[in-house]
Every structure is written in structure tokens, then in C-alpha cells.
């Protein structure tokens, strides 16, 4: 089972927001997202929040931004 991990941007040094996921307002401004040139470069973000499992999410996810549990 895949579990989400925190992925740090090499440009802005903030944690990357999961792909296609909305961040709560209190977190949104402190996360790397599509506006940063480093967001779409390695290390790539995944679809899961840190600690969230593929089972919790309910859909199959790709390997980036995850670890096997």
C-alpha cells in the first residue's frame, strides 16, 4: 500500500502540495504549488497528503510522493 510523504521543492524549499488537491486556507500560502517553477520538477509531488494512504484516498495513485508501507 502506498502512503503519502512530504516532498520538498528544491527552488522555494516549501513542501509541495499534492497534485490536484486543494489545501486548507491556513496551509495554502505556505505550500509550494503550480505557481512555483520548481513544482513540476524533481522531486515530483504525488496525489496523497503526507500520511494519507492510497486506501484512504480511494483511488490508485502513481509512485511519486509516496512510499510503500
**Residue 50 falls within a domain, yes or no?**
yes
**Residue 45 falls within a domain, yes or no?**
yes
Query: What is the tally of structural domains in the chain?
Result: 1
**Residue 69 falls within a domain, yes or no?**
no
Q: Which residues make Cβ contacts (< 8 Å) with residue 26, sequence separation at least 6?
A: none
**Residue 67 falls within a domain, yes or no?**
no
Give the pLDDT confidence score for residue 42 in this predicted structure.
96
| Cα-based distances in Å from 47 to 1, 61, 69 | 14, 6, 16
Q: pTM of the prediction?
A: 0.86
Give the pLDDT confidence score for residue 27 in this predicted structure.
66
Give the pLDDT confidence score for residue 58 in this predicted structure.
95
> Along the chain (69 residues), what's the average pLDDT of each consecutive run of 10 residues?
96 94 76 94 96 96 93
Give the pLDDT confidence score for residue 1 in this predicted structure.
92
**Residue 56 falls within a domain, yes or no?**
yes
Amino acid at each position: 500500500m502506498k502512503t503519502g510523504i512530504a516532498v520538498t521543492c528544491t527552488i522555494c524549499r516549501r513542501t509541495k502540495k499534492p497534485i490536484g488537491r486543494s489545501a486548507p486556507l491556513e496551509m495554502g500560502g505556505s505550500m509550494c504549488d503550480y505557481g512555483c517553477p520548481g513544482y513540476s520538477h524533481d522531486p515530483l509531488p504525488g496525489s496523497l497528503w503526507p500520511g494519507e494512504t492510497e486506501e484512504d484516498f480511494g483511488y490508485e495513485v502513481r509512485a511519486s510522493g509516496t512510499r510503500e508501507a
